[in-house]
Structure 1
Amino acid sequence: MVTRRLVLAGAAALVFSASAYAEVWKSKYPELAFAVVPGENASGVTERWTPFVNYLSKELGVKVTLRVANDYAAVIEGQRAGNIQIGYYGPASFARARLTGVKIDAFVIDVNSDGSKGYYSVFYVLAKSPYQTIGDLRGKNLGLVDPNSTSGNNMPRLKLNQLGIDPGAYFSNVIFTGSHENAVLALAQGTVDVAADWWNADDDSNLTRMLNKGMVKTSDGTPMKKEDFRIIVRSDMIINSPVAYLSDLPDDMKAAIKQAFLDAAQKDPEAFRNLSDGKNKPWEPIADEDYNKTIELIKFVDALRKKAY
């Protein structure tokens, strides 16, 4: 005879079993590594992401350690080796990872304040300079960011190609600065005459974030303003950055990680706000296929570079 006591006991057993199963991945992964591409200098990345990583640790119930990558390739190779469970990528570095066989899956994407999911690559010059178009910069120095940066290398090369320009032949020097911040600083200090960087909107770009921190100064130490820079080229829209985890992680673990990201804006609004200076809306789900166009972009740029050699 089935009694109410037996039914309740069975339900309790099922709850216990499900709870125990949920803890299995935590015993296998007592610590997770979360790596971030160097959109800023190391201290800037650490300051921006540490509160969120602390939130992840609390939400997931395991220690999450922030890894500040030296370059974009470090995140790719860390996930290839399986040493980094979660990575925050640029679109092109995620596409490069997928293209070269890294077993990862994108699960959430940045969302802009207006609900859009894209940004732009722009070419900056100093406002005091005589340069009004790319045509004025033949024989000058171009500052790019990193070979795996979307807005700092791949999209700029595509845009230049559309304008009939081979960077290696057109500019006197093409310099990789290593980070978006370094590209702006190189321009401000006169190391380069034009620099590529990312731009979301007039009040949301790498430049405005740096200016808000008082980071941009002339070679004599004078603080600079947004009006001291001029955009001479803007690209087509680029899909926003994804967060990706290793494909072979346990399904319940991936589900927990994804849910923690989706819940972040509500559960820890200050930590979430810190990531974008309050400019972004909550993350939304994304799929690998959404970056197929970016894979085609880097294939195209790779082909251009091979022709140059």
Structure 2
Amino acid sequence: MKTTMMAAAVAALVAAPALAADACKDDGELVFAVVPAENAQGSIDRFTPTADYLTGQLGTKVTLRVASDYAAVIEGHKAGNIHIGWHGPGSFARAYQVTGGNVTPFAAINNNGAVGYYSVIYVKADSPYQSLADLKGKKFGLVDPNSTSGNFALRFFMDRDEKITPETYFSDVVFTGSHENAVIAVQQGTVDAAGNWWDNEEQSNLRQMEKKGMVKYDDFRIVWKSPLLAGSPLIYVNTLSEGCKTAIQDAFIHMTERSPETYAKFNDGKGQGFLPVKLEDYRESMAMIEYVDALRKKQ
């Protein structure tokens, strides 16, 4: 989303009266799920505080579910057993499609008043590859079929801007399963290049992996970057009560002031908390997956 959120929207939420502490009590136990960006234990450590925080804010137990892939979260929304999820814009668009519109985006990370990130392609820093053109005939790693930065955006912009179809341009194309796995595949030489997400020099999957001691940031180089993508949205299923949905959004919007340590875990302390988003902010994301789906049908 190439947009800066309106200050009035934030002010309205800040000025809103305190919500009932048991707003979700009648909705029963809720499940908060995240799409796989790192290994399972890393996700548990990162997001368990969020589930605990939400339990205290909503007046009902909130359980964290770390899914094996994006499809599992999307199917959980469809089945009604995953009530809150954090998605990429593409996986949200797919969830909206699969559930018949039964999910709504309500917040995304605030990056200095703007919401958005990029898809990038990494290679080893000591490799000879300097551009997408240098990667023709090489081995390429995607993340997951429903990953925005690791699949949808790559296919969309390669076809639209470069007239490139990955399966015919590269010698081999593989799904690595997660953003971390994609980086490891480049590091180990399983692939020559791979897609991933990147906010800026200080905030990316690669930086997070460096902090864990898994890789060194300077061992990799970006050879391609997409235009700005819509911010990764938090979403809820529409079958929740109106009071509960309002309370969920309120809990995230005010997380930085109510539990700064929870937000620090959620996003490595980067960004300035969450800004409200709405369905209209993701129309381009929906158009992107429709475009990619049409490409598949042609192959």
Asked if these proteins are the same fold (TM beyond 0.5), I'd say: yes
Q: How does 1:221-240 map to 2 (within 5 A)?
A: 225-240=216-231
Maintained 8 Å contact 1:92/1:148 = yes
**Alignment match, 1:254:** 245
Q: Distance in 1 between matches of 2:108 and 2:22?
A: 27
Matches within 5 A, 1:51-200: 51-100=49-98, 101-112=100-111, 114-161=112-159, 162-200=161-199
**What is residue 297 of structure 1 aligned with on the other side?**
288
Equivalent residue letter for 2:154: P
State the AA in 2 paired with 1:196: G
Long gaps (5+) in structure 1: 1-17, 217-224
Cα distance in 2 between the residues matched to 1:273 and 1:200:
16
Note the C-alpha offset of 1:306: 1.5
Distance in 2, Cα, partners of 1:305 & 1:242: 25
* 2:27–2:240 contact (8 Å) kept in structure 1: no
Task: Check whether the contact 2:22–2:58 (CA below 8 A) recurs between aligned residues.
Answer: no
CA–CA separation in structure 2 for the residues paired with 1:158 and 1:50: 34
- Matches of 2:76 and 2:106 in 1, distance apart? 18
1:31 match: 29
Q: Distance in 1 between matches of 2:113 and 2:284?
A: 20
Distance between the aligned counterparts of 1:24 and 1:61, measured in 2? 6
| Alignment match, 1:268 | 259
Change beyond 3 A, Cα 1:195–1:117:
same
One-letter identity of the residue aligned with 1:81: A
CA displacement at 1:115 relative to structure 2: 2.4
Unaligned runs of 5+ in 2: 1-18
Secondary structure at the residue paired with 1:109? strand
Residue pairs, 1:273-288, within 5 angstroms: 273-288=264-279
Deviation at 1:159, TM superposition (A): 2.2
1:209 counterpart = 2:175: no
Identity %: 52
The one-letter code matched in structure 2 to 1:247 is N
Which portions of structure 1, spanning 4 or more consecutive aligned residues, are displaced by more than 2 angstroms?
Answer: 22-25
Instruction: Please report the TM-score for the alignment, with normalisation by the length of structure 2.
Output: 0.90
CA deviations on 1:59-85 (whole Å, 9 max, x unpaired) are 112111000011111111101001111
Larger Rg: 1
What is the number of residues matched between the two proteins? 279
Could you state the TM-score of these two structures normalised by the residue count of structure 1?
0.87
Q: Specify whether residues 267 and 166 from structure 1 end up closer, same or farther in structure 2 by C-alpha distance, changes over 3 A only.
A: same
- Measured on the aligned residues, the alpha-carbon RMSD in Å equals 1.5
**Distance in 2 separating the partners of 1:227 and 1:39:** 20
Letter of the 2:74 partner, please give it.
I
Question: Following TM superposition, by how much is the alpha carbon of 1:29 offset from its aligned partner in structure 2, in angstroms?
Answer: 2.9
Contact 2:106 2:233 in 1 (8 A): yes
The answer to whether the Cα contact below 8 Å between 2:31 and 2:65 also exists between their aligned partners in 1 is yes
**Alignment partners' CA distance in 2, 1:155 and 1:85:** 26
For 2:271, give the aligned amino acid. Answer: N
